[in-house]
Structure formats: structure tokens, C-alpha cells
Structure 1
Amino acid sequence: MRKHASVLALAVLLGAGCSGQTVAPSPPRMPAPGKVADSKAPAPAAPEPKEPPPTSLPPKPFSAPKTSWVELKNGLRVVSLLDRAVPVVHLRVAVLAGTAIDGERTGLAAVCARAVASSQDSGLDKLGARLLVDVAPDRVVYGLSVAAPRLAEAAEVLASVVGRPRLDPREIERVRGSLAEAAAEKARTDGAWGALMMLHRDLFALPSEHHPYASFDATAEEITRIKPADCREYHRRHFVPKNMIAAITGDVPADEARKVAEKHLGRLSGKTPPPLSFTDPMPVESTKITLVDRPGSTQSELVVGSLGPKESEPTYPGFVLAAEVLGGPVTGRLSADLRDKRGLVSRSFAEIVPFAGGPSAFYVYAKTNDESTGEALAALLDHLRALTKEAPSPAEVETAARFLGGSRAVSTSKPGGRADELCDLGSRDLPDEALDERIGAIRQASPEAAAKAFAEHVRPGHAVIVVAGDAAHVGPRLQRFGEVKVVDPTRNFARIRTLPAAAPAARP
């Protein structure tokens, strides 16, 4: 009923236009002043029954514009995509050296990639453009969006950024200080950041080495250890053409994009980059509970996670579909039950983080008041358990599939969205059509297939649970779920105490 009410409300809003004003009901028709309504007037005729709306037509097939790939003589790969909707070109250069290459020097890519972007005169002022820098586990992306006639100038600027940075020690120290200050602020004030830091550490824990994906972000202490010499070595080893992808989308034909790339990016040089090795982490053997202490906080932020399938596995689309059924921010089970029905949480969602060299990370998130932490966590675990045992309804699956398809359309319609997507796919060695094919597979997946894929990776009693909140108030509410490790986010997440599991209640 709640879903139908939401649809009805949306229809009323759309009928009102885009002004955002509510639609007031028409006032009852009243007799003219000084006249009395004739009680003998004939009763109005009964309205004729409304004709039912026509059935929706099946979705029409959609073919995305075709991409064009070319490899330059220096080994740099270039992908282009023509889009004449707006006379703008989006240029991205992705370096396949994100935070996964940090190793024991967590924070290396975060500091050095930004230092590369800020330590030279790049000619941005003349272009009137803003340089975008995005650091992710599997790549660092530098991007510009300019008027189509200025593509060659933008390519020259990016060639200077990635190929000829000064890497002045004072500038590196400035970037390092700024990032360390931001990390210290997150440790004090950002509960979700702290929870995800511990989630990744526990999901990707290895017995004798540091997994490339074990670090969600770097702490202030880790960032301050990065030296200028580390950045120069990082650039020398990884910023080489054979480790780069350039994406050019917008109002530019493929042959022109190729010529511009050859002239400006084709002059970059460097040796073959070092290979990365990945060891698959073991699934969690039993439930792990970590409490990130935030003294004085009146709210708790909860994440419950597990390792998910790799993107290359055939069960991945079904797993994505099940996660949307569970944690869709609008129509998911968690929102409908924990937020709308029971009022336990103010926000909830499910997230899948894919990686190039290993399994994905899956988690559900919820934000609640500290006194509701235990009840909210129990409800999260109940919903996770239920989806492993019983398939969702066909209506839930259809709603989730439609939402995922619509989200993809929205993301690619954003300025530069397709260029960013091509860099992401390339960094994970996926074909350009991978997401379109995945949406098609999601639409074809059955409720039983979604539940089966989910049950293969989410096992009751084998989860990583992280709660960020005031340990003095939240800790006792978590002990009934098991032993609780309490960590201090302002001290590099050092363990400060352990709360034992509460004894099971005696049966009457």
C-alpha cells in the first residue's frame, strides 16, 4: 500500500507541473449571493465509469552509441565516443595506479596523485576550465571539459599534468598537510567514514600481508609518512603510457580525437609498469563486531558487510538485483520497514563496491539514534537472513530492475558521465558495453536466481559488523550479538578495549 501511495503522490505532483506547488482541491460550487439553492433541482447524473488506462508498451530496444578504440605507438589506449548534443568535449586520462598500489604505504596514491595535479603551471587559466582529480582503488583520473574547438589545448594541458609535473617538495608537503588535516577531521566527526575504514580492514584481512583493498582511505598518521621521494618514484613507475587510458567523448569525430591524442598524448614515454598481484581474501569465518568510539555522539551509524562476487562471475547481476531489493534507497525493504514503518532509522541503503583484482565488497548501511542501535542491528540481520532463505516477490524484482536501469540512464546523462564510465570500465578490464549487458541480465533474472546469488555470499553468522557511535552508550547494546572490539578513530583505529559477549538469557 505504501508503494501505491507513493506512486499516487508522484502522479499528483507531476500533474501540478514543475513549480513544486501543491495542488489545492477545487472549492465546492456555492449558490450566488442572495439566492437559495433549489431543493427541488434534479440530482446530477451519475458520472460515467472511467475507461481504464492502456497497458504499458514493452520497452523499446536501445543501442548505445558505439565507441572507437585505438592504441598509440607508445602503448597508450584511447577510446572516443561521438555525441553532438552539446558542443563540448570531455577529456579524461586514467592512470591505472590508484590506492591498490599503496601496499604498506597507505596514502601514497592519495597524496602523490593530487600533488601531480597541483605542482605545475598547467595552462588551466587560459582554458577557463577546472581540472578534476579522482582517486579510486584501481585508477586515478584527471579530467577536463572544454568547448569542442579547444580539445587540442586541453590535451596539451593533460599531457603536461601527467607527463611533466615538477613535484616540488614544498607543494607535496602542502598537499600532504591538507589531506592529513581532512583525515583528522573525518576521524573526529564522520561516523560513516570510520565504519567503512574498519569494514574494509576486516573484509580484506590477510594473515601475513596487506591486501590492496584493505584500506578504504588513509588516516592522518599514514598520510604524514608519505615523503616527496615517494611521490617522484610513484610517478616514475606508474605514470607511463602503457598504464594509461584516455577517454574523449562529446562533439568530436573519432578520427579527430585520434589525431589530437597522437599529437599530444603520443609523446608521453616510460617503461612497462610493474604488475600487481592480488591474493583473494578468505570469507569471514564468524561474525566480527567492531565499535568505532565517537564520545558524545547521540547517533549510531551501522554497516554490515561481506565479500560479494567478482564482476566477471555469472551470478553478479543477480547479486546486484538482490542488493537493490534489500537496500534500494527509495523502494528497498530496509527503507520500507526500518525507516517508513518502524521509524528505527533515518537513512538506509545497500552498496556493492567492485574491484579489478578481487571479489566485490557488499554492505548495508543504516543511521539511527544510539538507544535504537541494538534493535536496528537486529532488524538489519533479520532482513539479510530473510533474503538468503526466501526469494523476493516478482513485483519487488521488477521495481528493483526498473530503478537500476533508470539510475544507469541518469548517470550517463550527466556531463562527462560517459567518459568517466569508460575510464572506470577500462581500469577494471571490462568491455564498454558491460553495464548495458548487465542491466539486460538484471531484467532477465528471476526472483529465485537473485535469492540464490545472494545466499552464496551472504551467510548468517559470517558477517563483518561495524558500528560508529558513543561506546559508553552503544557498547552494552551490542554485546548480545557477540564480543565487541572498541577502536579509537583518532588514534589510527587502535583497539582501546574489548567488551565480552553477553551471556545468553536463561530460559524460564
Structure 2
Amino acid sequence: MRKRASVLGLLALLVAGCPGQTVAPPPLHTPPAKTAEAKPSVPQAAPEPKEPPPESAPPRPFSTPKTTWIELKNGLRVVSLLDRAVPVAHLRLVVLAGTAVDGEKTGLSAVCARAVASSGAGSLDAIELRKRLEGLGASLSVDLNADRVVYGISVPAPRLAEAAEVLASIVGRPRLDPKEIERVQGALAERAAEKARSDGTWGALMMLHRDLFALPSEHHPYASFDATAEEIGQIKPADCKEYHRRYFVPKNMIAAITGDVPADEVRKVAEKHLGGLAGKAAPAPSFTDPMPPESTKITLVDRPGSTQSEIVVGSLGPKESEPTFAGFVAAAEVLGGAITGRLAVDLRNQRGLVSRAFAETVPFANGPSAFYVYTKTNNESTGDALTAVLDHLRALTQEVPSPREMETAARFLGGSRAVITSRPGGRADELCDLGSRGLPDEALDERISTLRAMAPEAAAKAFFEHVRPGHAVLVVSGDATRVGPLLQRFGEVKVVDPTRNFARTRTLPAAAAPSRP
């Protein structure tokens, strides 16, 4: 799942340019106050009314630089993009096996993907491998989500071949020493235990995924947002070796190389250092589409002593391949944009009910997207904040957004993407994500263009098709003794303990409806 950073959102807003708004930088320092003798007051003329700022100019045409694709003899696909701005090369190797392939062994990919990166490779033990990377002036990154794991290295462009040789050895010939697997396992279990104790957002999203992707008799591949400490402790070294053997094969990989390296040189490097990777075709995971909730589900993740509650209201959204997906994303931004969305303006700025509010739409490669609204508030405001969120969700299914809201949403989304891809290696990361979801390189350009030309009615219709009042998943992280009674008016509340693998501890009955006179 992806997090929004407030600083990044602000930068995106500045790049996008909201109509009619200007932002002035703060002064570098405050000058000392000057003392002066009192002077007789002189009547001042009333200031003339200020002229309103001009409307923002229409967005200028922009086309993303073209990519080049090749397929090696072993089946590995390589995408490259020339960028001469900085003499650096960004190399990413994607394995299309994220948490969705864990099956009943939740946490398998998290443990094994990191053990691959840290246990040594080929003839190099872990210490020698670390020294080799330091000699390149690089570090190895590991990024895991539901559909893929990405190994990344950024180096000076002339050293791309060396980096590719090292990365191919790490991914293709890891040692997977049992002691190193146990060390990684222990570190991840400790982190998961700490999150269970102190991270309300983590707990809420864990239960959101479980409830959204619940199936009657099997575990859905997308039902696990993360693994608990108990689940991580059940992984065996032999499981990691089998995970690597089955999925770390060239036909299940994508390499992305961006930076100051021409396409012909990329081909030579890839053929020499990545062309030697071998293995049979990876098994395809099985996906069954989950059914939307028949009624409202309410779960309270108990965090005793917490003074604030974190509220998540979610539902299943359209698949990314469906024509309505762009409209759904636009409507979600109108509702939950971090700065200009309805929730932020109303609940945070006007009512002061919440300290943070946004909406997120998370796409997956093989199923519906997950949509959720997030808010954080004081315990005593939990009921009012949840009521307001549900009211806004209902309103967006009944009222068409204004043209100004649609324009702001399109500008914000386009600006956010511009900021993200301008970071070092950002374009390589984007190509990895698009490739792992089976989308063309121009997919986001086309989506932004669609959003800018979209009628507000289309966004409202897309939202209405998937977000139905009375059929949402509600999850609240907070102190059950203080927050629980505030939630009972919304329905029956299931209380779970995040420190005990989210076991149900009790059920709070729905409050009786007030009798009519």
C-alpha cells in the first residue's frame, strides 16, 4: 500500500497549480522591532479593493520520453529510457512475485525477498557483497508489494555493467544461508510486533484488507496487507529456497534501466550480465474476485491507552483495466485530496474534527482495486468524524462534482506524478510498477489526459457503481473502552487484538434505534 507524505503533497500542489491560488515563501528571518516616539495618528484612506488573481493558464502539452523494449533469449524483458540530465544509471530488476504468492504462508515473500538481498551471492559472502556494493558507490534497495519485489541499484553511468553483474548474482545465485534467513526473520518479526503495539494505521489497513478480500473457503492473495510476528515466525529456510526456485526465473522478471546510457549499450549490458539467468516458467497464481460486503462491517482494533483513533472506511473499486477506473480515481481525489479534497476542507479546516484526512485508490495486477478513506481524530470526536465521512461518501454517489473540483483533481494528480518521477530513479520505479501490473509505459500519460477531458458526470457514475452506502468496510484503531460505545450506533462492532494476530476478543452489539414518540 502506498503512503502520502504531506510535504510531497504540497510540492505536487505547487507543481499542479490550483486555480486562483498563490503561495508566498515565508520570510527568512523576522527583523527586530524598532522603538519610535509616538506620532499623532493621521487618517488613512481606505485601501482600494485588490484585483483578483488571474486564472491559471491551461496545461502545456507534455510527452513522456520514449522507452525501448527488448527481450533476451532467456525470456527476460528489458526496458530502457535515455536521460542525459545526470551521468547516473538506475538499474531495477523486478520479480513478479510479491505478497500475493504467499498463499497460506503469509510473510513468505517478505522474509525471502530480503534474505536474497543480504545473504551473499555466488562466491561472495554477505560481507564481501557489501564491500563490492560500497566499491560501486551504491547500496541495494528492496521494495515489495502485492504483485512484485524490486531490487534496485543506482551507479555512475560508466559502471552500469559492474552493477548489472552484481545484481544478477544477487538475484540469480543467492546463498540463502539459514542463519541469515533467521536473522532477517527475527528483525521482521520484531518490527511487526512493534507495529501491532503502536501503529494504528498498520492495524487498520491489516483488517481492511482481510475484510475487503474475504472469501468463503479460501485465502485471497490480496487479503494480507502485511504479516504478523506470529506468521513470520512460521517461515522455514526451505520455504525461501523453494520460493526462489519457483519465481526468480527470467520469464518472470523485468529489468528497467534509465539514465545516461544509450539503448544499444543497455542491450549489450543486459545480454552479457542478465542473459545468463535461467529457470523454468513460474507458476501463475490463482485469483478469485471477492464479493462486495453484503452489509456494513465494523471492526475495532483495540489499542488500550490511545488518545486518538484512526478511521478507515473502504470498499472494492474497479479493476485498473476497466474504462471506469480513471473516473473513479478522479472522484476519489475530489473527495479525499490531501489538501483540496472535500474531506480535508470540511473535516479538518472548517470543523476541526480531524488532524488528517485523505482518500487512496490502490490498484492490483489481478483483481479489483482497494479504495479507502483515512481520517485521524481525538477519541471523543470519533463518532462525529465517522458520521461526516459516511455523509461525504453518500453525497459523492448522489451529486456530480463541480468542473472546478474536477480540474483541481486532474492538476493535483498530474503534478504529484511529475514530482514523484523527478526524483532520482523515479522513472525507473514507475516503469517497474507499470510493467508489474501489465500496463503500457504511456498508461499514466493517457490517464491524466483522460482526467482533464472527463465530464464530471462520468466521475460520479464511476464512483456510484462501486461505493454503495450500507455496504462499506469500517475499521477503527483506538482504545476500545472509549471508542467502542461511540461506534455501536453504526452497527455491531467486532473488537480484535492486534498483538494476538488480530484475534476477536469480543463483540459489541449494535445500539438500539431510538424509539419514536
- Shorter-chain TM-score bucket reads over 0.9
Distance 1:20 1:73, change over 3 A: farther
Paired residues for 1:151-162 under 5 Å:
151-162=160-171
Report deviation, 1:58: 2.7
Q: For residues 376 and 60 of structure 2, what CA distance do their matches in structure 1 show? A: 39
Aligned to 2:66: 66
- Report 1 or 2 for greater relative contact order, CA contacts < 8 Å, sequence distance ≥ 6: 2
Q: Does 1:359 align with 2:377?
A: no
Q: Does 1:237 align with 2:246?
A: yes
Does the CA-based 8 Å contact 1:116-1:165 persist in structure 2?
yes
Query: 1:368 aligns to what?
Result: 377
Please give the residue correspondences for 1:77-156 in structure 2 after superposition, counting only pairs within 5 Å.
Answer: 77-120=77-120, 121=124, 122=129, 123-156=132-165
CA distance in 1, matches of 2:38, 2:450: 69
Q: Matches of 1:134 and 1:51 in 2, distance apart? A: 50
Q: 1:60 to 1:12 in 2, by over 3 A?
A: closer
Q: Which runs of 5+ in 1 are unaligned?
A: none
How far is 1:45 from its partner?
A: 11
> What amino acid is aligned across from residue 264 of structure 1 in structure 2?
H
Structure 2 equivalent of residue 442 of structure 1? 451
Residue of structure 1 aligned with 2:499, choices 469, 490, 495 = 490
Distance change in 2, residues 1:378/1:47 (3 Å): closer
Identify the residue that residue 395 of structure 1 maps to in structure 2.
404
Distance 1:54 1:206, change over 3 A: closer
The residue aligned with 1:255 is 264
Partners of 2:290 and 2:280 in 1: CA distance: 31
Aligned twin of 1:302:
311
1:323 aligns with 2:335: no
How far is 1:204 from its partner? 0.2
Deviations 1:41-100 (A, max 9, x none): xx9999999888666443221111000000000000000000000011100000000000
Q: Counterparts of 2:110 and 2:398 in 1: how far apart (Å)?
A: 41
CA distance in 2, matches of 1:457, 1:340: 28
**Alpha-carbon contact 2:86-2:260 (below 8 Å) kept:** yes
Matching residue of 1:225: 234
The amino acid of 2:67's aligned partner reads T
1:336 equivalent among 337, 345, 354: 345
Q: How far did 1:164 drift?
A: 0.7
The alpha-carbon distance between structure 1 residues 200 and 54, as it changes in their structure 2 partners (threshold 3 A), is closer
Aligned 8 A contact 2:20 2:53 in 1 = no
- Matching residue of 1:186: 195
Query: For the residues of structure 2 that align with 1:139 and 1:35, how far apart are their CA atoms?
Result: 72
Q: Which residue of 2 aligns with 1:476?
A: 485
Counterpart-to-counterpart distance in 2, 1:23 and 1:328: 37
Residues of 2 paired with 1:335 and 1:152: CA distance? 48
User: 1:292/1:56 Cα in 2 relative to 1: closer, same or farther (>3 Å)?
Assistant: closer
Counterpart contact for 2:18–2:56, Cα < 8 Å = no
Output the CA distance in 2 between the equivalents of 1:211 and 1:10: 45
Q: Give runs of aligned pairs for residues 404-483 of structure 1, distance below 5 A.
A: 404-483=413-492
Q: Per the alignment, in what secondary structure is the counterpart of residue 291 of structure 1?
A: strand
Cα deviation for residue 11 of structure 1 reads 3.3
**Within 1, Cα distance between the matches of 2:515 and 2:374?**
32
Could you tell me whether the CA contact under 8 Å between 2:19 and 2:55 is conserved in 1?
no
TM-score normalised to the size of structure 2? Answer: 0.91
- 1:279 — aligned with what? 288
Letter in 2 for 1:499: L
Cα–Cα, structure 1 residues 505 and 270, in superposed 2: closer, same or farther, change >3 Å? Answer: same
Structure 2 SS opposite 1:13: coil
Residues 36 and 117 of structure 1: is their aligned pair in 2 closer, same or farther, counting only changes over 3 Å? closer
Counterpart secondary structure, 1:289 = strand
CA distance in structure 2 between the aligned counterparts of 1:467 and 1:47, rounded to whole angstroms: 51
When residues 299 and 48 of structure 1 are mapped into structure 2, their CA distance, relative to the original with a 3 A threshold, is closer
Query: How far 1:448 moved relative to its partner?
Result: 1.1
Aligned residues, how many?
493
Determine if contact 1:290/1:466 at 8 Å carries over to the other structure.
Answer: yes
What letter corresponds to residue 107 of structure 2 in structure 1? Answer: G
Q: What is the letter of the counterpart of residue 304 of structure 2?
A: P
1:44/1:104 CA distance change after superposition, 3 Å: closer
Give distance in 2, aligned partners of 1:23 and 1:323. Answer: 44
* Equivalent AA in structure 1 for residue 72 of structure 2: L
Relative to structure 1, the CA distance from residue 389 to residue 21 in structure 2 (aligned partners, 3 Å threshold; closer, same or farther) is farther
Conserved 8 A contact 2:20-2:56: no
Shift, 1:399, TM fit: 1.1
Distance (whole Å) between structure 2 residues aligned to residue 204 and residue 320 of structure 1:
20
CA distance in 2, matches of 1:284, 1:93: 37
- Gaps spanning 5+ residues in structure 2: where? 1-12
Determine if contact 2:18/2:408 at 8 Å carries over to the other structure.
Answer: no
Offset from partner CA, 1:342-365 (integer Å, 9 cap, x none): 111111110111000000000000
Assess, with a 3 A threshold, how the Cα gap between structure 1 residues 394 and 175 changes in structure 2: closer, same or farther. Answer: same
Whole-angstrom CA distance in 1 between matches of 2:140 and 2:72: 24
> In the alignment, what sits opposite 1:13?
24
Matches within 5 A, 1:4-43: 11=22, 13-14=24-25, 20-21=28-29
* Structure 1 pair 97–410 and aligned structure 2 pair: CA distance change class (3 A): same
| 8 Å Cα contact 1:13-1:20 kept in structure 2 | no
Alpha-carbon separation, structure 2, partners of 1:410 and 1:323: 20
Partner of residue 6, structure 2: none
Query: What is the identity, as a one-letter code, of the residue corresponding to 2:347?
Result: L
Match of 1:212 among 221, 224, 227: 221
Q: Residue 13 of structure 1 contacts residue 22 of structure 1 at CA under 8 Å; is this kept in 2? A: no
CA change 1:254–1:44 in 2 (3 A) is same
Distance 1:22 1:486 in 2: 51
The answer to whether the Cα contact below 8 Å between 1:12 and 1:23 also exists between their aligned partners in 2 is: no
CA offset digits 1:224-262 (Å, max 9, x no partner):
000000000000000000000000000000110111011
- 2:4 corresponding residue in structure 1: none
Distance 1:12 1:210, change over 3 A: closer
Partners of 1:503 and 1:49 in 2: CA distance:
56
